[in-house]
Amino acid sequence: MAKKGWDEFEIGAMLRTFDGKIDDIAGTRQEDREYSQNSSYTASVADWRLIKPVFNKDYCIDCQFCWIYCPDVSIISRDKKLIGVDMDHCKGCGICVEVCPTNPKSLLMFPEQADEETEIANWPKKDEEEA
């Protein structure tokens, strides 16, 4: 798509969320929304990331904490069930891991190059509460 010139977009570094009209934002899947051309939806921040969150659904209680806290709306949730992380928009801040309440945590940060299956296979065990 040809990029717009300085005189073609709206003033104020202001973005309309969607090009088309969407009546039911909550019920429309992320991938089905008509994001505007220069919206950050099309801009990957994956190359900022040094560590990545890995999601282990065995422990997840679908509390949605990570979903609401993620500053980049990168946790993908369908019908209140956690599916995974949008790795194009996750910048690796670790907030999702911080807020995850399960024991052991259902999300943990690993080096960017870590192999996901290995990490899930070696997932930490439950922390014993201190007496």
Query: Vertex 90, ends 84 and 96: CA angle to 5°?
Result: 65
Distance, in Å, from the CA atom of 117 to the CA atom of 10, rounded to the nearest integer, reads: 45
- Residue 100, judged by CB atoms within 10 A of its CB (0-12, 13-18, 19+), counts as buried
Q: Which stretch binds ligand SF4 (CB under 6 A): 19-27, 30-38, 66-74, 113-121?
A: 66-74
Shortest spacing between CB 13 and ligand SF4, in angstroms: 22
Q: Which of 44, 87, 12 is nearest to 76 (CA)?
A: 87
Binding of ligand SF4 by 108 (CB under 6 A) = no
Q: Which stretch binds ligand SF4 (CB under 6 A): 13-21, 26-34, 61-69, 112-120?
A: 61-69
- Candidate list 60, 104, 120, 123; residue touching ligand SF4; CB under 6 A: 60
Binding of ligand SF4 by 100 (CB under 6 A) = yes
Q: Give the sign of the dihedral formed by CA 119, CA 122, CA 124, CA 126.
A: positive
Cβ(80)–Cβ(68) below 8 Å: no
Instruction: Give residues in contact with ligand SF4 (CB under 6 A).
Output: 53, 60-66, 70, 72, 74-75, 82, 85, 90-96, 99-100, 102, 106-107
Instruction: Give residues in contact with other proteins (CB under 8 A).
Output: 4-7, 9-17, 25, 38-40, 43
